[in-house]
Amino acid sequence: MSGTTTAAAALRRRAAGAGANRWVVLVVLCVSLLLVAVDATVLHVAVPAVTEDLRPGAIELLWIVDVYPLVCASLLILFGTLGDRVGRRRVLLLGYALFGVASALAALADNAQLLIVARALLGVGGAMIMPATLSILRQVFPDRRERAMAIGIWSAVAAVGAAVGPLLGGFLLEHFWWGSVFLVNIPLMLVSLPVGRLLLPESKGDGRGPWDVVGALMAAGGLFGVVLGVKRLGGGEPVVSLLTVGPLVLGAALLAGFVRRQRRRAYPLVDLAMFRRPAFSTSVGCIVLAMLALVGLELIAAQYLQLVLGLSPLETGLRLLPLTFAAMAAGLAGAG
């Protein structure tokens, strides 16, 4: 126990030693987060070009667009808690590498199936990057006021990334082919890997209790199953179809089992007691609704502007630009 405490104290001292470079660290982390957020929406304006080139079916096209955020969201708890165990910087750097490789694979995909696999791998890389950036940020900003400002900037970058995705995608499609929306990730990841290794401090959790890998997998499987069932309903599948009801029932059962498991464990992955606080649960609910509205509006608007009004990808991105400014202003206002 004393050895664990000493190691944790040493990690905290190392993180505190990065205080002089904490704002540089914030920039590195925000650039990482920006790429993860951009990839959630950058493909929205590229859907017509992808459809024309790869000729995917309706369900395949839905998976091309949605598999990235689905996989990313499902694995956040798994990789977030893994980083607490083995080191957040280590998981973050591995996420950088995987994100870069998956981006190259997506850019060079010559069929819909390969693009879906590549987008799923991007989701795995994004799930490794996103929680690690926030955990490291909290570690290098011990002062509460500075930490609040840093988290506000982090939140603004996440929202801006999702909002600016269509604009970036439109600009690239105006001059290159659709695979360029993925190639742009590679040089940034090649820079982020050595810079992150040099500047980012390593940190871990307090190490109390065993890692609940079963619970993490239950959460991932539950989220994936529920969203898969909803997607199949939205794709026009019969409500009574086994392929629709099965994932919904299995996903709901896994999530219910996850909640029950966390309530019984002395060291849960997620402290469910926090949701009893109205301020916390209301904040989480508002964030979820805001992101659903932002990303959903962008996806629908991008298709409408191109396929109905006949605008080019760049013109579409420019029409969606007010969302970027609104997201930026709201994120920075939240820091106050």
Q: How far is it, in rounded angstroms, from Cα 113 to Cα 91?
A: 27
Domain containing residue 40:
2-208+312-335
Burial 221-256 (b: 16+ CB within 10 A, else e): bbbbbbbbbebbeeeeeeeeeeebbebbebbeebbe
> CATH number, domain at 53?
1.20.1250.20
Per-residue pLDDT band at 138 (split at 50, 70, 90) = confident
Task: List the single range of 147-156, 157-166, 194-203 with lowest mean pLDDT.
Answer: 157-166
Within 10 angstroms of residue 329's Cβ, the number of other Cβ atoms is 13
Q: Can you tell me which residue has the tokens 């509460």?
A: 144
- Residue 234 is predicted with a pLDDT of 63
Task: Give domain status of residue 224, yes or no.
Answer: no
Task: Give domain status of residue 131, yes or no.
Answer: yes
Task: Give domain status of residue 281, yes or no.
Answer: no
- Residue 16 is predicted with a pLDDT of 46
Task: Give domain status of residue 99, yes or no.
Answer: yes
Task: Give domain status of residue 284, yes or no.
Answer: no
Per-residue pLDDT band at 13 (split at 50, 70, 90) = very low
Task: Give domain status of residue 262, yes or no.
Answer: no
Q: Can you tell me which residue has the tokens 């290159």?
A: 176
Residues 6+ apart with CB under 8 A from 254: 218, 219, 221, 222, 225
Q: Two tokens at 313? A: 């990808």
Cβ atoms 104, 186 nearer than 8 A: yes
Tell me the per-residue pLDDT of 230-259, one tens digit each, with 9 for 90 and over.
Answer: 777 765 556 566 667 788 888 889 989 888
Q: How far is it, in rounded angstroms, from Cα 317 to Cα 167?
A: 4
Q: Pick left, alpha or beta for residue 236 (phi over 0 → left; psi -120 to 50 → alpha; otherwise beta).
A: left
- Residue 11 is predicted with a pLDDT of 47
Tell me the per-residue pLDDT of 21-58, one tens digit each, with 9 for 90 and over.
Answer: 777 888 888 888 888 888 777 777 777 788 888 888 77
State the DSSP string of 206-273. ---S---HHHHHHHHHHHHHHHHHHHHHHTT--TT-HHHHHHHHHHHHHHHHHHHHHHH-SS-SS-GG
Per-residue pLDDT band at 121 (split at 50, 70, 90) = very high
Q: How far is it, in rounded angstroms, from Cα 104 to Cα 184?
A: 9
Mean pLDDT (the chain) is 78
Q: Two tokens at 237? A: 């599948």
Res. 336: pLDDT tops 70: no
Res. 305: pLDDT tops 60: yes
Q: How far is it, in rounded angstroms, from Cα 2 to Cα 133?
A: 28
Rounded average pLDDT over 162-169: 74
Q: Pick left, alpha or beta for residue 56 (phi over 0 → left; psi -120 to 50 → alpha; otherwise beta).
A: beta
> For a pLDDT cut of 90, what percent of the chain falls above it?
4
The pTM score is 0.76
- Residue 18 is predicted with a pLDDT of 47
- Residue 324 is predicted with a pLDDT of 67
Q: What is the dihedral of CA 22, 279, 158, 130, to 10 degrees?
A: 70
* Residue 132 CB burial class (10 angstroms; 0-12, 13-18, ≥19): buried
> For a pLDDT cut of 70, what percent of the chain falls above it?
86
- In the chain, how many domains are there? 1
Task: List the single range of 162-166, 176-180, 281-285 with lowest mean pLDDT.
Answer: 162-166
- Residue 47 is predicted with a pLDDT of 78
Task: Give domain status of residue 203, yes or no.
Answer: yes
Task: Give domain status of residue 222, yes or no.
Answer: no
